[in-house]
Every structure is written in C-alpha cells, then in structure tokens.
Structure 1
Amino acid sequence: MKRKISGALFVSIVAGSTIALSPYPASAQIGGIVHDPRNYAQNILTAARTLEQINNQIRMLQNQTVSLLNEAKNLAALPTSTLAELESQVDRTRGLLGEAERIAFDVKDIEAAFEGRYKSSALAAPNAALVAKAEARWMDSVAAFEDAMKVQAAIVGNLGGTRASISALVTASQSASGALQAAQAGNQLLALQSQQLGDLAAALAAQGRAQALEAARSAAIEAEARERFRRFRGKN
C-alpha cells in the first residue's frame, strides 16, 4: 500500500515538473472560452512581422516619391528666356551692316567700286572725271565712317539689354531647382556671350572698312597727284 501511494506521488511530481518546464502553458478554459497561449504568441509574432513589412513598403514608397520629385525638378524647364532679346539685338546689328552706304559688305560691290574709282585704270580718265572720282572716293570714306559710328552706337545701345539679360540669367541660375534649369541658364549665358562677340566683330568690321577705304583714298590721291603732275609737265 505504501509503495502504491509513493508511485502515484512520484507520477504527480513528474507531471507537475513537466508543465512548469514547458515554454508555453497548457490551454486553459476561462469562462467558456478556450485560451491557447502558444497560438496567441504565434499570432502576435505574425502580426509583428506583417507590421514590419508594411513599414518597409511605406519607406520604399517614400523613397520612390523623393526620387520622382528629384527627377521632376531635374526635368523642369527654365522659366526665363532671353532668346528673343538676343535675336533682336543681332538683327539690329546685322541690319545696320546691311545698310552700309556706297561700298557695301559685298565682294562684287567692292571690286566694282575699286575698279572704277581707286585703281590705276581710273587715272586714265579726263580731268573732269578725275575730279568726280576723287569726290566719289571722299564720299565713300565719309559714308564708311558714318556706318561705323552707327554700328558702334547700336552696340552701345545693346549694352542696356545685355545687362538686364545677364542679371535675369544669373538670378535664374542661382535659383535653379534642377540640372536642366541650370544647364539652360548656362546655355543662355553662352548665347549672350556669343551675341556680344558678334557685336564686337561687327564693330571691328565696320571700323576696318572705314579705315581701309580711307587708306585706299589716300593712295588714290597720291596716284592722282602724280598723274596730274605728269599731265602738267606734258603740256609744258
């Protein structure tokens, strides 16, 4: 009898120890509801993993949004454009060069004018014709200097528009929100620089034309003086 009691007590102690050492307590029924701690813990773990996945997706969407915004800024066009003003300034300068009086910037016109008024072949004309040609050469020089001054005046007039364009483009470049806007501002500044170089070339061309015609007139005067002297000696 004592052995049976001792065996039952041992079984009870082992069973109790097993329950105490188990990681999850056994299911319990409370108020008619069965509570399984192992299932509850698994559900909590699953919910935590799901929440982490959702947070990862939210962060990924945020990164994609930032990337799209950056791309939109880089692709945004520059709202400032000085192209129309630059083209207008270039057209004004070209128009003045095209209005050159007497001897224009044309190879055929230059050849015809020099053949008739500046070269030695023109010295064979009668005295009255020599006087007319000398007057024509003087008018060529005066017109050339007048044209040069007109071009220079137009270039000086362009400086106001150039200053305004530079100010607008520098401001736009400093406030550019993306790569495209910065590049477009830089391109317009380069176009403005090209326009200024074009004005400088036009001024040099007009001034060079005037100086060349004056030098040609001086040479023609010298040649004509020799011809007149030769004719004078021939009569005496």
Structure 2
Amino acid sequence: MRQAFLAGLAAIALVLPQPGHTAWPVFDASSYAQNVLQAARALEQINNQILQLQNQASMLQNMARNLERLDFSSLGQLQGALTRIDGLMIQAEGLSFDLQQFEGQWQQAYPDSYQAGLAASDMASAARERWQSAMSAFRQTLRLQAQIVENVRADQGLLSELVTRSEAAGGALQASQAANQLIALTAKQQMQIQTLMAAQYRAEAEDAARKGQAEEAARAATRRFLGSGNAYSGK
C-alpha cells in the first residue's frame, strides 16, 4: 500500500508543471471554429462590397460613354447641297414655280382665244416666246439633274464616313447621332428626287401646252386667212 501511494504521488508530480516552466495551453476547438467562421463571413462581406464598387464604377463609365457626343456633323454638307438645288430652282426661267406669279404668266403666254385684230407678227412673236420658255424649262431640268448627280457622288463619301462613325460609336448617344445623320442624308436624297420630278413634270407640261397653243394659233390664222369666204364666191 505504501508503494501504491508513492506511485500516485509520482504521477501527480509528472502532471503538475515544474517550477520555472509555463503552463500548457488549452486548445478550444469550438471557439476556434467560431472565430474562423466569423472571419470568413467578414471576408465575404468585404468581397461583396468591392464587387459592388466595381459595378458602380463600370456603370458610371458606361453612362459617361453613352452621353459622349459624336464629334462629327454632316448638317452643313447636307444643307449646302439643298441650297445649291434651291438656287437652280430660283434661277428657272419661263413659267415660275410661285403660284401667284404662275397664274399671270400663264394668262399672258397661253390665252384662251386670239383677238380678231391680232397681227400675224404678234402671234409669231408669242409662239417664239413660248418655245424659248419651254426650252429654258428643259435646260433647267438638265442642270438640276447634273447638280443632283454631283451631290450623289459627294454623298458616297459622306455615307461611308457616317457608317464608319456609327460602327465605331462608343456609346448610345454617338450611335443615335450617327443614325440621325444617316436618316437626314436619306431625307435629303428624297428631297432631291422630288425637286427633280417637279422640274421634269413642269418642263413636259409646258412643252405640251406650247404645242397645244401652237395648234390653236394655227387655227386662228387659218380662220383669218379664209375670212367670211366672200372673196372666193365669185361676186
């Protein structure tokens, strides 16, 4: 029994820390796992905040890019082409495109009937003026066609430039502005066609009226030449 007691004392002496030595640390697995989980959650929140900031920065960059204006405008070139066409229309001789002026010119050049006392020389002079007016209308139409062909050639380079700008647009505003200029180019070309059609139809209508008036003048001259018929009755 004495030997067992001494063995127990020896075991206790081995477990207790010796003088001059620190105590053994105690490892708490549950607390350690909880601390690791809290650290992981904190790191995830930080990563989410960083991602949100990156998304906001990207959104701001996209907004700035979408609001960036297109540093190219074809408005001056389009307006210049239409101004040249309008100038040719203003220079048109003969019957005017202005409705009020046209009515007076028509009554003078194309009377409904010829007066009985109108001299043959006056009728010939009026016929020549109508012919000159018709020729001026055809000449003006041809000049207008030449100007439109010149504009179309210039539009080829402008169209290529606008398409290039549209494809290279950095944002919605630039793409929209390039598309608007392409639409304006199409509208200008349609206006050119409408103007050309107006000039062409005017020239054809004036020439047809000239021919009709020439027939009426010929009938009037024939009636004047024949008179009442008494000169050929043998009386």
> Are 1:172 and 2:128 matched, yes or no?
no
**Larger fraction in helix:** 1
* Identical residues among aligned pairs (%): 40
* Number of aligned residue pairs: 213
The AA in structure 1 aligned to 2:46 is: I
Q: Distance in 1 between matches of 2:224 and 2:105?
A: 25
Q: Which residue of 2 aligns with 1:23?
A: none
Q: Which runs of 5+ in 2 are unaligned?
A: 16-20
Assess, with a 3 A threshold, how the Cα gap between structure 1 residues 46 and 130 changes in structure 2: closer, same or farther. same
1:120 aligns to what SS in structure 2?
A: coil
Displacement of 1:202: 1.0
CA contact (8 A) 1:120 1:223 kept: no
More displaced 10-residue stretch of structure 1: 84-93 or 103-112: 103-112
Which residue of structure 1 lines up, in the alignment, with residue 60 of structure 2? 68
More divergent stretch after superposition (196-205 vs 111-120) = 111-120
Report deviation, 1:37.
Answer: 5.9
Superposition RMSD in Å: 2.9
- Equivalent in 151, 155, 161 of residue 154 of structure 2: 161
Structure 1 residue 38: Cα displacement: 8.2
Distance 1:187 1:122, change over 3 A: farther
1:231 aligns with 2:224: yes
Higher mean C-alpha deviation, range 162-171 or range 215-224: 162-171
TM-score by length of 1: 0.79
> C-alpha offsets along residues 1-54 of structure 1, whole Å, 9 cap, x if unaligned?
99xx8xx99xx9xxx9xxxxxxxxxxxxx979x999689846655544333322
**Cα pair distance change 1:47/1:31, threshold 3 Å:** farther
Which consecutive unaligned segments of at least 5 residues does structure 1 have? 17-29
Structure 2 residue corresponding to 1:117, chosen from 97, 109, 127: 109
Structure-2 change in CA distance of 1:35 and 1:97 (3 Å): farther
In the superposition, the TM-score normalised over structure 2's length comes to 0.79
